Structure 1
Amino acid sequence: MDYIWLIGLHVAAVTVWIGGMLVAAVLISALDAETAADGPARILRAVSRWDRRVTSPAMGLAWILGLTLVFQGGWGAEPWLATKIAVVVALSALYGRLARALRQLPEPGRPPVSGLLRFSPLAVIAGMIAIVTLVVVKPY
């Protein structure tokens, strides 16, 4: 596959992944245990289903295509890339926490959402700004 097609598919997969993360992050930060237990159960089920069927596979595809681009493009030893990968690992870990919280949100008697997840929309946006800046500017 041509390198430019890999880039296009990688960007598309990242866009779907981050879009799904933002939906989950905003929903989780907006709801508390009491609201989730009796209110928007249908919305939570729909977002959770979307997360499992679309967001999670998009994250996997973004990782596979990104690593393929690193190897095909010979980017392995670049310092900016190491920083980018660190941010991507952090976003992946945050996504794992968001996916788990999304599944647990409608469960009665569960503990409240952690303070960290209440700021997750900001963390997702900050991570994406850092990644795009590193990829475009390649500051070091």
Structure 2
Amino acid sequence: MGYIWIIGLHVTAVTVWIAGMSVAAILISALDPATAAEPGPARLLRAAARWDRRVTSPAMGLAWILGITLVVVGGWGFEPWLVAKVIIVTALSALHGKLAAGLRRLGEAAPESGVRTVSPLLRFSPLAVIAGAIAIVTLVVVKPY
């Protein structure tokens, strides 16, 4: 497979991954546990969790595989911009795990439980996803160091 095709597939996988994370982040930040337990929002959260398992998580895995392939085939080594990108991608991967767990927990929450089922810090996750994506694109395009 040509190098340009690997780049194209990598960018596509990353786009699907970031879009899925954005949806999860927005849902989690918009719904409190009481509202999330209502039938309509709970159904939406369960659907988003299914989408995450079936589409977003595989896209993340494919993005990682293709990204590593690009590094090896391109012979990039440990350039500083690439190390910074990998650190941000690792942080986004961890955030994806927290978001996936949050979707699952909020979708299964009982209305009478009254306990917060996700970290309040996830309210800032939409901003983190956008900032991470902007930082990664900037590093890849500009290669500042």
* Map of 1:7 onto structure 2: 7
Q: CA RMSD in A?
A: 1.0
* Map of 1:73 onto structure 2: 74
* Map of 2:84 onto structure 1: 83
Matched, 1:111 2:116: yes
TM-score by length of 2: 0.93
Query: Counterparts of 1:124 and 1:3 in 2: how far apart (Å)?
Result: 27
* Map of 2:35 onto structure 1: 35
Unpaired runs of 5+ residues, structure 1, are none
Query: Counterparts of 2:121 and 2:77 in 1: how far apart (Å)?
Result: 32
Query: Counterparts of 2:12 and 2:117 in 1: how far apart (Å)?
Result: 34
TM-score by length of 1: 0.97
* Map of 2:55 onto structure 1: 54
Contact between 1:10 and 1:66, CA under 8 Å: does it hold in 2?
yes
Query: Counterparts of 2:52 and 2:125 in 1: how far apart (Å)?
Result: 16
Matched, 1:19 2:24: no
Query: Counterparts of 2:118 and 2:31 in 1: how far apart (Å)?
Result: 9
Bigger drift between 110-119 and 126-135 goes to 110-119
Contact between 2:85 and 2:139, CA under 8 Å: does it hold in 1?
yes
Q: CA deviation at 1:57?
A: 0.2
Query: Counterparts of 1:65 and 1:139 in 2: how far apart (Å)?
Result: 23
Moved beyond 3 Å, runs of 4+ = none
1:119 match: secondary structure: helix
User: Identity percentage over the alignment?
Assistant: 74
Amino acid at match of 1:21: M
Count of residue pairs the alignment pairs up: 140
Contact between 2:71 and 2:77, CA under 8 Å: does it hold in 1?
yes
